[in-house]
Chains A and B, each alone.
Chain A
Amino acid sequence: MQYLLLIYNDESNWNTLSEPEGAKILKEFGEFTQEIMASGNLKGGNRLHDVSKATTVRVKDGKKVVTDGPFAETKEQLGGYYLIEAADLDEATTIAARIPAARMGSIEVRPVWEMARP
């Protein structure tokens, strides 16, 4: 099965990390990504720019409406994601727990909807 691991953190905490702290976390992220690539679990993933750069789009009466900011203001913001392949939820949560940011915020584990193939 595929799972999307959504990384939620308080951006203000993230932005106030000292330079060595930030460098350490980045290094850990690099190692983690290498590990799950080598184990074959990694299907994709990216870090996201913070929500100050988010734009929300809706279509109202057939017209595109663009507004500044995220869909919802929350205490923790989506900062990045991994798409992984795992045997089951237990494997997925075990991998999620290894994401360095899990110590600071939380990881939402969402199973990817399996499309019926024609």
Chain B
Amino acid sequence: MGAQGARLPGDSEARVAWLARRIIRLVWGEPVPIEPGFLDQIYRDEWGRIVAALIRRLGSFELAEEAAQEAFAAALVQWPREGMPPNARAWLMRTAQHKAIDALRRRTRWEAPGDPQAAMAKIAQWPSHLGEEEVLEDDRLRLIFTCCHPALAIEAQVALTLRTLCGLKTEQIARGFLVPTPTMAQRLVRAQQKIRDAGIPYRTPPRAELAERLAAVLLVVYLVFNEGYNAAREGRALSDEAIRLGRLLNELLPGEGEVLGLLALMLLHDARRNARTSASGDLILLEEQERGLWEGAKVAEGLRLAEQALRHGIGSYAVQAAIAAVHGQAATAEHTDWAQIVALYDVLLRMQPSPVVELNRAAAVAMAQGCEKGLDLIDGIDGRGELRGYYLLPAARADLLRRLGRWAPAALAYRQALRMAVGEAEKRFLAKRLREVEAAAHSK
């Protein structure tokens, strides 16, 4: 332990501080010296737990968050000076409890609906020494379901989950979703106010509603993942956060097929993150990716979880994970089992009829049975008009025409896709392909 190697320092001021630390260590027990970055790790690990437990006790999101924030701020000052307490979680809970009492004392009746006196009396009855057992895992599950309650708008669900459960700062969330920080702050305040004033309950839904409510939670996690996945390199923190949430759900609700499926899906996609853009930020399609850049550990875990998910039932995330798994198992793009992928899209389409799924299936059919067949399917989808303005439809058509060497119609389709695309990376990719097919058309 670090304290054993310590020697009494020379000058008197340092000597007093050293003795004070020594005494505190004796009282607290043997503290662990703090490594750099360790407090960040504690914050990430403990924030959600502490806030969740505080919300149950205090009955208020605002108060719980404020108290937790102050407790972590106190730790930031105190721990490096006095050493780590032997039980960090209990220390944080106890400190947050004191901070909550202080906050309630400061509040007037108007600010805190309900009765601050009664709330304080309730807090005073908490056990004075909170051990780990006081922080119930159920609290985090309650918190997830409350943050993702269908009575909140989806943007609010996403923001609240990242703020309250993951402990992301409002500025970080705002940056991730490309909205100004004050807008995000207001979204969070409104969501907390609605929870309080509309009486959104803090609980895990009853068994009969669980599947439906879990679907809403998984959608939030998947949205967070996609936001990070589609973002430029610096935006990828959101994907990591989504995977963390997926792992947490899997821990809290073990054996839920769709939780396993979503986690597998995210891992299999995330494994390709270093392969899917070039150093200059250009998109690289699956087919052309350097498979050696895929993260092997994530692929392996994703494959294992996808298999587990399918054993628990055929859910839509499980099937999407299975599709990603077929890609993950192919050593090269040419080795991809496209027939298997088409079959999986058939299953997905039966479960979740959508023109976007149909378009993906059409692309797989083209690879399995020939581009002409894929083009026919794309024309059929286009004819129904549901995907008007969706750039991936002309982009998929352009790709098949390019493969067939039909340069002029391919160029036409690429131009059409280019007009609809929004993201810069997507536009650059389409422009590059357009130049290629135009050059091929001229050299003919």
Residues of A within 8 A of B (CB): 1, 3, 86-90, 92-93, 109, 111, 113-114, 116
Smallest Cβ-Cβ distance to B209: which chain A residue: A90
Q: B151 in the interface, Cβ–Cβ < 8 Å?
A: yes
- Are the C-beta atoms of A88 and B197 separated by less than 8 Å? no
- Are the C-beta atoms of A1 and B109 separated by less than 8 Å? no
Smallest Cβ-Cβ distance to A3: which chain B residue: B199
Smallest Cβ-Cβ distance to A111: which chain B residue: B198
- Are the C-beta atoms of B199 and A92 separated by less than 8 Å? yes
- The 10 residue pairs across chains A and B that have the minimum distance between CB atoms: A88-B201, A88-B199, A1-B199, A89-B199, A111-B198, A89-B200, A89-B198, A90-B201, A111-B197, A89-B151
A–B complex contacts, Cβ < 8 Å, 23 sampled: A3-B199, A86-B199, A87-B199, A87-B201, A88-B200, A88-B201, A89-B149, A89-B151, A89-B198, A89-B199, A90-B200, A90-B201, A90-B205, A92-B199, A109-B198, A111-B197, A111-B198, A111-B199, A113-B197, A114-B113, A116-B109, A116-B110, A116-B113
Tell me which residues across on chain B come within 8 A of A116, comparing CB atoms: 109-110, 113
B94-113 vs A, CB cutoff 8 Å, 1 = contact: the mask equals 00000000000000011001
Q: Which of B110, B113, B197, B198: most chain A Cβ within 10 A?
A: B198
Tell me which residues across on chain A come within 8 A of B109, comparing CB atoms: 116
Bin chain B's interface residue count: 10 to 19
Interface secondary structure of B, over-half rule: loop
Smallest Cβ-Cβ distance to B197: which chain A residue: A111
Quote the shortest CB–CB distance from A115 to chain B (angstroms): 10
- Are the C-beta atoms of B201 and A89 separated by less than 8 Å? yes
Tell me which residues across on chain B come within 8 A of A92, comparing CB atoms: 199
**Once the chains are docked, how many angstroms separate the CA of A67 from the CA of B151?**
36
**Once the chains are docked, how many angstroms separate the CA of A111 from the CA of B109?**
20
Smallest Cβ-Cβ distance to A86: which chain B residue: B199
Quote the shortest CB–CB distance from B156 to chain A (angstroms): 14
**Once the chains are docked, how many angstroms separate the CA of A109 from the CA of B201?**
15
**Once the chains are docked, how many angstroms separate the CA of A92 from the CA of B197?**
13
Tell me which residues across on chain B come within 8 A of A90, comparing CB atoms: 200-201, 205
**Once the chains are docked, how many angstroms separate the CA of A82 from the CA of B327?**
55
Tell me which residues across on chain A come within 8 A of B205, comparing CB atoms: 90
